[in-house]
Chains A and B, each alone.
Chain A
Amino acid sequence: MEVPLIKIEKRNDAPMALYFFTPFIAIILTILGGGIIFYILGFNPIEALKFYFITPISNLYGFSELLLKATPLCLIAIGLSFCFKSNNWNIGAEGQLTFGAIIGGGVALLFYNQDGFYILPLVILAGAIGGMIFALIPAILKTYFNTNEILVSLMLVYVSKLLLDYLVVGPWSNPEGFNFPETRQFSDSSRMPLLFEGLRIHAGIFLALAAVMLSWFILYKTYLGFQIKVSGLSLKTAKYAGFKGKTMILVVFMISGACAGIAGVGEITGPIGQLHRMISPDYGFTAIIVAFLGRLNPFGIIFASLVVALTYLGAETAQIFLQIPKYTGQVFQGMILFFLLASDYLLFFKVKILNLKKNELRH
């Protein structure tokens, strides 16, 4: 008689195909898991999933909204991939996004009653610098004071959100705004050009695509990219090879912060058009999931940002049609990351099914 026996072996060489295939397993498992949760909550799972994943993108407007939400996610995740690849745990992209939006928004407010082709580039540049400066804080503290970057970057998220809150309630609030917590509307010269009449998708998407191309070039074609990858694989090797760890840490944080800052500016000069309290539905945190789901690969991140953007859109649709709180998007986002991490097990271990004769088992 044959008895199947499961044997687990550690492996050192996971096939590349599997590496890029497991995210799809994670997505499928997430959809199944979501169906089960909807069923438990008393909804028809097929119908609920349809509202979640198909209805939102079944027309042109929906598709434009998908791209609109994927844009900041893609930009931030591209930046984060530099940090994560080199083992730097920047989880405060939300703060860098907010600070970038504050600085960029500040410049836009300076020109609120002026026109000129140079204004938008200035605003974007200011946002990138803002995000960069904000990301430099955990980076400098990590390199020169040995401080844990996870906690510092995270604490700064709250600091930046409180700063934004202070500005839009206090000194920057619209003088003609009846004390609403918001600034003036930006002038048309500081707004991202819309790509199509009647749709919200804007030129920011080109910035995201440029970031993808640039990051691919830096990571795979330059010495810096090589350093980043080696440091991620083994810090000891990197030191042995004589790489200057400190400079590299500062650089990856700056890249990451700049991307998040530009994403923040994209939001306020794109769909929002002013500064107020809620400029981002936690894009900075969700982009961490995007970076992982995209396997820290520039083109993988494009795909992942579309998938995760769909969870945002789906949550909004489900809220309208099924009266489920918008937060369900986070349930899906959390599940994607859970399943992705779990399926990584297949990369590190080989699951072998051995068919042994029963008497062989005793030995």
Chain B
Amino acid sequence: MSLDISFIGILIGSIMASSVPLILAASGELITERSGVLNLGVEGMMIIGAISGFALMVLTDNLFIAIVGSMLSGIIISLIFGFLTQSLLTNHVATGLALTIFGIGLSAMLGKNYVGIPGKEFPVLFSGLKEIIPFFGPILFGHSVVLYFAFTLPFLTNYFLKKTKLGLVVRAVGDSPVSASNQGINVILIRYSCILYGGAMCGLAGAYLSLIYTPQWIENMTAGRGWIALALVVFATWSPIKVLIGALIFGGITILQLHMQAIGFRIPVQFLSALPYLMTIIVLVVISRDSRKIKLNTPTSLGRIFYKEK
């Protein structure tokens, strides 16, 4: 296999495609965490998004409804988490775990009749330009609209958090819920909204997998991507732009491992598959050692229960 320039272009294009679910889910979780809520249910919300998106596509034959429906189902399932943690003041870690376990089970139950049904081709944009322009063609063009959205999302998230008033409110709620509450901010309402937004993005990330990336329904098809997305938020020290970079690195490893397998590279494939997880641990260690670095963006009240005496 020759490593010519057009092949590298295609390779980069496929790395981008494989990083989309990570960008979407991690960007959503980032907002949730910035408001001080740790939702470990990312994997569960993604898999629910994946099955509901696919089922709606089969039932309605309409991809728009499928995409919107997957986001709605992500919102609905995250509402369980929101109600428990915000209204009933349950522990974030345990509730998130329950959400993931529940989501994986429920998706398999709902998806029972959808196994083996072929998916539908998802329309791509500018596919003409992809063929004409060498190298940059496969990188920039011929992707689904969801991919373009995913690649703008970190910048939008960054703008939202840094430049808008609401973004400031979210950060204030995450850093100091008591002071925010004293300022007249409805902490619970803000946290609910951030949880539901995270649910919507995770739902979309799941739908990307079942409608676009590998257009079919397979039980447990998110295969740990939700956990990687969670790690990615920490990896990025809660900075949206770094989420994008991290997702590309992790997506790159996934793709690289497929290609190395194809050319008969001698490192066992399992070691390459383990790389994203090992890298996450290493990065966690590096950033956690320097407490100033991690404190810079870490929501101070992350995972702590907020209760206002009425």
The chain A residues found within 8 Å of chain B, CB to CB, are: 8, 10, 37, 41, 89, 91, 141, 145-148, 150-152, 154-156, 158-159, 162-163, 165-166, 169-170, 285-286, 288-289, 292, 323-335, 337-338, 341-342, 344-345, 348
Contacts and interface: CB of A to CB of B under 8 A. Distances in A.
B102 interface: yes
Contact of A159 (B234, B277, B310): B277
B125 interface: no
A334 B224 CA distance: 17
Contacts of A292: 94
Contacts, number: 141
Contacts of A288: 94, 97
A341 B219 contact: no
B102 A330 contact: yes
Question: Taking each of A148, A151, A170, A285, which has the highest tally of chain B beta carbons within 10 Å of its own beta carbon?
Answer: A151
Given A159-B277, A331-B106, 11 more contacts: A148-B284, A151-B230, A154-B227, A158-B227, A159-B274, A325-B219, A327-B105, A327-B219, A331-B109, A334-B100, A341-B91
A8 B280 CA distance: 43
Q: Is the interface of B mostly helix, strand, loop or mixed?
A: helix
Contact of B105 (A151, A154, A333): A333
B54 to A, nearest CB: 15
B84 A338 contact: yes
A169 B285 CA distance: 31
A212 to B, nearest CB: 22
Contact of A155 (B44, B103, B281): B281
Interface string B19-57: 000000000000000000000100010000000000000
A151 B280 contact: yes
The 8 A-B residue pairs whose C-beta atoms are closest, nearest first, are A334-B102, A330-B105, A327-B108, A337-B98, A331-B105, A166-B270, A341-B90, A155-B277
A151 B109 contact: no
A337 B288 contact: no
Contacts of B277: 155-156, 158-159
B231 interface: yes
Contacts of A146: 288-289, 291
Contacts of B234: 148, 151
A211 to B, nearest CB: 22
Interface of B: 40, 44, 80, 84, 88-91, 93-95, 97-109, 111-112, 219-220, 224, 227, 230-231, 234, 268, 270-271, 273-274, 277-278, 280-281, 284-285, 288-289, 291, 307, 309-310
Contact of B109 (A89, A325, A344, A348): A325
Contact of A337 (B94, B109, B309): B94
A158 B224 contact: yes
Contact of B281 (A141, A163, A323): A141
Contacts of B271: 162, 166
B109 A155 contact: no
A166 B269 CA distance: 8
B270 A152 contact: no
A133 B219 CA distance: 33
B285 A158 contact: no
| Of A154, A328, A333, most B-chain CB atoms within 10 Å | A154
Contacts of B220: 327
A297 B107 CA distance: 32
A173 to B, nearest CB: 12
B105 A147 contact: no
Contacts of A334: 44, 98-103, 105-106
B90 A344 contact: yes
Contact of B280 (A155, A286, A324, A330): A155
Contact of A151 (B80, B101, B106, B231): B231
Nearest to A91: B97
Nearest to A348: B89
A335 B84 CA distance: 12
15 contacts: A8-B310, A89-B93, A146-B288, A148-B284, A155-B281, A166-B271, A170-B268, A325-B111, A325-B112, A325-B219, A328-B108, A333-B105, A334-B99, A334-B106, A344-B88
